[in-house]
Amino acid sequence: MSKTYYIETFGCQMNEYDSEKICGLLNTEGYVEISQRDQADLIIFNTCLIRENAENKLYGKLGEVKKVKRLNPNTIIAVCGCIPQNQEIREKILTKYPFIDLVFGTNTYDQLPELLYDITQSQKKIIAIEENSDDLIEAIPKVRKFHHKGFVNIMYGCNNFCAYCVVPYTRGRERSRNRQDIIDEVTELANSGYKEITLLGQNVNSYGNDLQGSYFFPDLLRELNEISGLERIRYMTSHPKDVNDDFIAAIKDCNKVCNHIHLPVQSGSSKVLKEMNRKYTKEDYLAFVEKAKREIPNLSFSTDFIVGFPGETEEDFEETLALVRQVRFDAAFTFIYSVRPGTSAGKREDQIPDTIKHERFDRLLKTLYPIFESNNKACIGHDYTVLVDDVSKNKPDYLTGRTECHRLVHFKGDASLIGQVVKVHITKARTWYMEGNLI
Ligand code: SAH
Ligand code: SF4
Ligand code: F3S
Confidence of residue 267 (pLDDT cuts 50, 70, 90): very high
Cα-based angle 412, 416, 419 (whole degrees, multiple of 5): 95
CA of 134 to the centre of ligand 3 (A): 19
Pocket of ligand 2 (CB under 6 A): 158, 160-162, 165, 167-168, 202-203, 239
Cβ neighbors of 165 (< 8 A, separation 6 or more) are 50, 158, 340, 343
Pocket test residue of 48, 206, 304, 352 for ligand 1, highest count of atoms within 8 A of CB: 304
Q: CB atoms < 10 A from the CB of 168, how many?
A: 19
Distance CA 245, CA 230 (A): 25
β-sheet bridge partners, residue 386: 403, 422
Distance CA 395, CA 328 (A): 30
Looking at residue 167, its pLDDT comes to 95
CA of 123 to the centre of ligand 3 (A): 30
Tens of pLDDT, residue by residue over 48-71, are 999 999 999 999 999 999 999 999
**pLDDT over 90, % of the chain:** 90
pLDDT of 430 higher than 90 = yes
- Please give the average per-residue pLDDT across 411-433, as a whole number: 96
CA of residue 204 relative to chain centroid, distance: 12
Nearest ligand by distance to the CA of 307:
1
CA-to-CA separations, 22 to 106, 109, 260, in angstroms, rounded: 11, 7, 30
**Average model confidence (pLDDT) for the chain?**
95
Maximum CA extent, the chain: 65
Distance CA 90, CA 86 (A): 6
Pocket test residue of 14, 49, 162, 165 for ligand 1, highest count of atoms within 8 A of CB: 165
Q: Whose CA is nearest to atom 12 of ligand 1?
A: 304
Pocket test residue of 206, 335, 343, 360 for ligand 1, highest count of atoms within 8 A of CB: 335
Q: CB atoms < 10 A from the CB of 119, how many?
A: 17
For 381, left (φ over 0), alpha (ψ -120 to 50), or beta? left
51 pocket-lining for ligand 1 (C-beta < 6 Å): yes
237 pocket-lining for ligand 1 (C-beta < 6 Å): yes
166 pocket-lining for ligand 3 (C-beta < 6 Å): yes
Tens of pLDDT, residue by residue over 7-45, are 999 999 999 999 999 999 999 999 999 999 999 999 999
Looking at residue 292, its pLDDT comes to 98
11 pocket-lining for ligand 3 (C-beta < 6 Å): yes
Distance CA 289, CA 286 (A): 5
pLDDT of 395 higher than 90 = no
DSSP 283-346: HHHHHHHHHHHHHSTT-EEEEEEEE--TT--HHHHHHHHHHHHHH--SEEEEEE----TT-TGG
Confidence of residue 132 (pLDDT cuts 50, 70, 90): confident
Tens of pLDDT, residue by residue over 235-257, are 999 999 999 999 999 999 999 99
CA of 278 to the centre of ligand 1 (A): 11
In single-letter form, the type of residue at position 53 comes to N
Q: Whose CA is nearest to atom 7 of ligand 3?
A: 167
Closest-lying ligand 2 atom to the alpha carbon of residue 158: 3
112-122 vs 13-28: helix crossing angle, rounded to 10: 60
β-sheet bridge partners, residue 336: 307
Looking at residue 2, its pLDDT comes to 87
Looking at residue 371, its pLDDT comes to 98
Ordered domains of the chain (ranges, CATH): 4-128 (3.40.50.12160), 149-377 (3.80.30.20), 383-438 (2.40.50.140)
Q: Whose CA is nearest to atom 2 of ligand 2?
A: 162
- pTM for this one? 0.95
Distance CA 48, CA 58 (A): 8
Tens of pLDDT, residue by residue over 304-320, are 999 999 999 999 999 99
Cα-based angle 70, 75, 78 (whole degrees, multiple of 5): 110
Instruction: Indicate the SS3 state at residue 409.
Output: strand
345 pocket-lining for ligand 3 (C-beta < 6 Å): no
- Please give the average per-residue pLDDT across 214-235, as a whole number: 97
Looking at residue 137, its pLDDT comes to 75
- Please give the average per-residue pLDDT across 183-194, as a whole number: 96
- Please give the average per-residue pLDDT across 216-242, as a whole number: 97
335 pocket-lining for ligand 1 (C-beta < 6 Å): yes
Closest-lying ligand 2 atom to the alpha carbon of residue 202: 6
Closest-lying ligand 2 atom to the alpha carbon of residue 168: 8
Nearest ligand by distance to the CA of 276:
2
Cα-based angle 408, 410, 416 (whole degrees, multiple of 5): 110
84 pocket-lining for ligand 3 (C-beta < 6 Å): no
Distance CA 122, CA 116 (A): 10
Q: b/e for 217-246, b at 16 or more Cβ within 10 A?
A: bbbbbeebeebeebbbbbbbbbbbbbbeee
**pLDDT over 70, % of the chain:** 100
CA of 236 to the centre of ligand 2 (A): 12
Measured torsion, CA atoms of residues 420, 12, 160, 330, in degrees rounded to the nearest 10: 50
CA of 253 to the centre of ligand 3 (A): 32
Confidence of residue 96 (pLDDT cuts 50, 70, 90): very high
* Residue 143: HSE in the Cβ half-sphere, 13 Å Cα cutoff: 14
Q: Quote the strand ranges of 107-202, DSSP E.
A: 126-128, 149-153, 155-156, 175-176, 196-200
pLDDT of 133 higher than 80 = no
